Amino acid sequence: MEQPTTYLACQAVSPGKLEFVRKELRNPPAGFVRVRVEACGVCHSDGATVEGAFPIQWPRVPGHEVVGKIDVVGDGVEGWQSGQRVGVGFLGGSCGHCSQCRSGHLVNCENQEFTGIQLDGGYAEYMIAKETGLVLIPDDLSNVEAAPLLCAGLTTFSALRNSNARPGDRVAIFGIGGLGHLAVQYARRMGYEVVAIGRSEAVGALAMRLGAHHYIDSSKRNVAEALLELGGADLVLATASGGAAAKDTIKAIRPRGQIIVLGATPEPVEVPTNVLLFGSRSIQGALTGDPGTSETTLKFSALQGVNAIIEEMPLASAIDAYAKMMAGRAKFRIVLTM
């Protein structure tokens, strides 16, 4: 088959504006590979690119839940070869030499670029990716199944696995959306007593089907009071509106319990310090995970039957897909297919 010289991409060109363009197909530089994209999830964090929340050098292709096959390997790349099916998440690849990398904290690499922000992402037929950011995709997950797990899945799985909660503890999932509907499944399969917190009877019915043991409708009940009736929570995973979730649930956190905030909002976390001090409670944030944890997330998902609820749309509908996601009408993850 003759190699194309251009490829289709959907790129942000100014705040809030996406457009399609054909870009020149280039070979990867040293330390990078070129990936022929086969699927890319549409994530709310893509708004950081499209709306210009981060400093962006326009134009920029969004998309950081990317699955495809390597078609060209750059100089100096080791351990990866043409034809391998790989994933690329939000973290564009660690440097390996900063103080955080040398301490083993690859997520916090001081020189890491973000996919779709400093590097072009997966709303395209091809992309260039750094070798240290690549994730191997297992054979028992399809491209579409794997894509949302590279961000929404990884973020919730990693937060739960790295928390202080242990099997049998009571874990509350605040927000049953793109992240929360996966968090409920992971928490159930990790052996926690799962409390889902949402805002309607329909969401409650879904949460119970996904594996929740209890459901609290925050539009009808005070969340902290409802949690205390259950005996309190050892962990609250706040997948949306982090500040509100902390304020609403902190009084129901058991001693030495945690709130882990996953939803990035400008909303402040307002918590009386005495509630933290008396009981040694804590609040922390969690940002996605490293490539090794990504591969563990994919393996666990395949072994335990964790599946995102997905709507497929073609790359040609990327602008509509993004608008639908930003309007809150995605149920629950949209995946572009090429």
Mean pLDDT to the nearest integer, 74-101: 97
The interaxial angle of helices 180-189 and 152-161, nearest 10 deg, is 40
Please, which residues have CB within 8 angstroms of residue 102's CB and are 6 or more apart in sequence? none
Write down the pLDDT at residue 337: 98
pLDDT confidence of 270, banded at 50, 70, 90? confident
Among 38, 41, 37, 57, residue whose Cα is nearest residue 49 = 57
- 297 has pLDDT over 90: yes
Structural tokens at position 78: 């080791």
Write down the pLDDT at residue 241: 64
Q: Which amino acid is at 199?
A: R
- 244 has pLDDT over 80: no
Percent of the chain with pLDDT over 90: 88
Please, which residues have CB within 8 angstroms of residue 292's CB and are 6 or more apart in sequence? none
| Single pTM value for the model | 0.95
Domain positions in the chain are 6-150+289-337, 154-285
- 247 has pLDDT over 90: no
pLDDT confidence of 275, banded at 50, 70, 90? confident
Write down the pLDDT at residue 87: 98
Compute the distance between CA of residue 18 and CA of residue 22 in angstroms, rounded to an integer: 13
- 257 has pLDDT over 80: yes
Write down the pLDDT at residue 271: 85
Q: Please tell me what DSSP assigns to residue 2.
A: P
Cis peptide leading into residue 32 (ω within 30°): no
- 154 has pLDDT over 90: yes
Mean pLDDT to the nearest integer, 129-157: 98
Mean pLDDT to the nearest integer, 46-66: 94
Mean pLDDT to the nearest integer, 164-172: 97
Q: What element of type H or E holds 59?
A: none
CATH classification for the domain delimited by 154-285, as one of 1.20.1560.10, 3.40.50.300, 3.40.50.720, 3.90.1580.10: 3.40.50.720
- 1 has pLDDT over 70: no
Is 19 within 8 Å of 13 (Cβ atoms)? yes
Query: What dihedral do alpha carbons 23, 24, 27, 33 form, nearest 10°?
Result: 10
- 302 has pLDDT over 80: yes
Percent of the chain with pLDDT over 70: 99
Alpha helices per DSSP H over 74-161? 99-102, 143-146, 152-161
Write down the pLDDT at residue 138: 97
Compute the distance between CA of residue 44 and CA of residue 116 in angstroms, rounded to an integer: 12
- 101 has pLDDT over 80: yes
Q: Which amino acid is at 235?
A: L
Mean pLDDT to the nearest integer, 12-41: 97
| CATH class in words for 6-150+289-337 | alpha beta
